[in-house]
Homo-oligomer: A and B are copies of this chain.
Amino acid sequence: MADKKLVEAITSRDEDFTQWYTDVVKKAELMEYSSIKGFMIYKPNGYAIWENIQKKLDAEFKKTGVQNVYLPVLIPESLLQKEKDHVEGFAPEVAWVTQGGGNELQERLCVRPTSETLFCELFRNNCHTYRDLPMVYNQWCSVVRWEKTTRPFLRSSEFLWQEGHTIHATAEEAEARTIQMLNIYADFCEKELAIPVIKGQKTESEKFAGAEATYTIETMMHDGKSLQSGTSHNFGDGFAKAYGVQYTGKDNKLHPVYQTSWGASTRLIGAIIMVHGDDSGLALPPHIAPVQVMIIPIQQQKEGVLDAAERIKDELAEAGLSVQLDDSDKRPGWKFSEEEMRGIPLRVEIGPKDMEKGQCVLVRRDNREKTVVSLEDVAEKAKEVLETEQQDMFERAKAFRDSHIYDAHNYDEFKDIVANKPGMVRGMWCGDPACEAKIKEDTTATSRCIPFEQEHISDTCVCCGKPAKKLVIWGKAY
C-alpha cells in the first residue's frame, strides 16, 4: 500500500528523536545539505515557513518604529577587533575572505557572523545630536559561523536570521527596548507558533559576547531538551565607547549612546518541528502554515467532484485562507499521507456521497478530529476549526512542557532528574559560575535562564549548598 510506505519511511518520534527529526526535515522537503560541509539549502517548503515568520515578525517590529537596512556581508578584521569580548567570542568561528578581484587583500575580511561592529560604524557616522536618537534598525540576512557539527535549522555554518540594532540616549531607554523586543519574540512564539516560552535573563557565562545583559526566551522540545529561541541584548555603552558612538546632548556635551541588539533565526523552524511534529511528520500551527488547507477530492473522476472541490477552494481563498487542491492522479490515501507529512493544518475531503448530502469533511492535522460541515458555511467553519487547532496546539505544548519541569532541592535530586527525566529543572543558584561549570561538567545540563518569574523553592544552591540567590531554569539544550 503506497500510503503506508510513506508513513513507514519515518522513524518513530519516541523511538529515536534525532532520526525522526532528520526524517521529517527530509520527507517534508524542508531542507537539504549542500556540497559544502555545514551549509544547507532551504527548499521551498522550508523557506515558505521562514517567509511567513519574516512577514509577521517584521510587521510587529515596524509597529514599534523599527526601520530595515542592509549592511555589507563582509567585515574588515580591524573593525571586528575594536570590541575585545566580542572579537574573542566570534573570531574562532568566522570565515575569512583573503582574495578579491584577482588580488590578495591587504586586510582580511570576515563573512559577517553578526553585525554589531558594522552597525556601530553606521551609528558613529550618522548620530550627531540627541535629535538623531533613537535609531532603531533591523536587518534580515544570513550569517556565517563555522560549525563542526551541524543539524538542519538548529546549527549550521550559515543560517538566516534578523538582527536588530538600536541606539538610545539613556540606559533606561535601551533597557526598555531590550525587554520590548524580547516580549515581541515571546508573543510571536506563543500566538503564532503555538510554542510556550519562558522569559528570563542569561547568566554571566551564557550571555552574548560584549553584552551587559542578555535576555532569552527558552522553549522545550518534545524530547525535553531546551531551545534558545530568541535573544535580546543590552550592551550598555560598551560598544559605543569602543567604537566612538556619541552624541551632543541638550546640555551641549558629548555622551556615549546606549545600545541593544536582538535576533531570531531559522532555529524557530526547528522548534516548530520538534514541538508539534509527530509520527506522521510535520504539524504546522495554522497561523504560520504556508498552506493552511489542502482539499483532497474522493473519487475525483466522478462527475462534479472536481468542480465542487474547486468551488470550495475559491471560497476558502476568498475568505483569506491559503488553500491548495490536490487533483493529481494519486490515490486519496497517498495524498492524505503527503499533506500530513507536510504538516498542513486542515484537510478538506469531498466525494460523491458528501455532495449528495451537501457537505464536506474537515480533518485537523493535530488530532485527526473530523467535522462534517455543510458546503454553505465551509469557509466560516474552516476558519473556526483552524483557530481552535491553533489554540489547542498551544495548550497541548504548554501542558507537555509544564509536566516536564521538575524542582530539584539538592544536587542528588538534580542529577537524578537530569539523568532520568527529560525536561527542564528548576533549581536555586548561589550565583557562582563555578557551580554552573560543575553542573555542566557533571550532567551536560546548562543554565537556560534566570526566569523573570522568580520563586523561592529552597534556601540553598542546588549545586554547592551555599545560600541561594536566584531560581534558575536548567536543562540540556540544542
B42 & A74 in contact (Cβ 8 Å cutoff): no
B160 & A70 in contact (Cβ 8 Å cutoff): yes
Of A48, A71, A72, A148, the most chain B CB neighbours within 10 A belong to A72
Question: For the complex, is A36 an interface residue (Cβ under 8 Å from B)?
Answer: yes
A147 to chain B, nearest CB (A): 8
B97 & A97 in contact (Cβ 8 Å cutoff): yes
A433 to chain B, nearest CB (A): 25
CA distance A74 to B48 in the complex (A): 22
A449 to chain B, nearest CB (A): 28
- The stretch of A4-12, A99-107, A162-170, A196-204 that contacts the partner chain: A99-107
A44 & B67 in contact (Cβ 8 Å cutoff): yes
Question: For the complex, is A121 an interface residue (Cβ under 8 Å from B)?
Answer: yes
Residues of B contacting A126 in the complex (Cβ-Cβ under 8 angstroms): 32
Question: For the complex, is A39 an interface residue (Cβ under 8 Å from B)?
Answer: yes
Residues of B contacting A121 in the complex (Cβ-Cβ under 8 angstroms): 34-35
Give the bracket for the number of chain A residues in contact with chain B: 35 or more
Query: Within A222-249, which residues are at the interface with B (CB < 8 Å)?
Result: none
A302 to chain B, nearest CB (A): 24
A47 to chain B, nearest CB (A): 5
A75 to chain B, nearest CB (A): 8
B111 & A97 in contact (Cβ 8 Å cutoff): yes
B36 & A72 in contact (Cβ 8 Å cutoff): yes
CA distance A122 to B44 in the complex (A): 12
Residues of B contacting A76 in the complex (Cβ-Cβ under 8 angstroms): 35-36
CA distance A72 to B41 in the complex (A): 6
CA distance A169 to B341 in the complex (A): 28
Chain B residue with Cβ nearest A78: B35
Query: Within A378-400, which residues are at the interface with B (CB < 8 Å)?
Result: none
Residues of B contacting A68 in the complex (Cβ-Cβ under 8 angstroms): 44, 47-48, 51
Of A94, A95, A102, A126, the most chain B CB neighbours within 10 A belong to A95
A71 & B111 in contact (Cβ 8 Å cutoff): no
What sequence of 0s and 1s flags, for each residue 71-100 of chain A, a beta carbon within 8 Å of any chain B beta carbon? 111111001000000000000111111111
A97 & B96 in contact (Cβ 8 Å cutoff): yes
Chain B residue with Cβ nearest A105: B95
14 contacts between A and B (CB under 8 A): A36-B72, A42-B69, A43-B69, A44-B137, A74-B158, A92-B101, A92-B102, A95-B101, A97-B97, A97-B111, A98-B99, A100-B146, A101-B146, A111-B111
Q: Which 7 A-B pairs have the closest CB atoms?
A: A101-B146, A44-B67, A42-B70, A39-B72, A96-B99, A95-B100, A100-B146
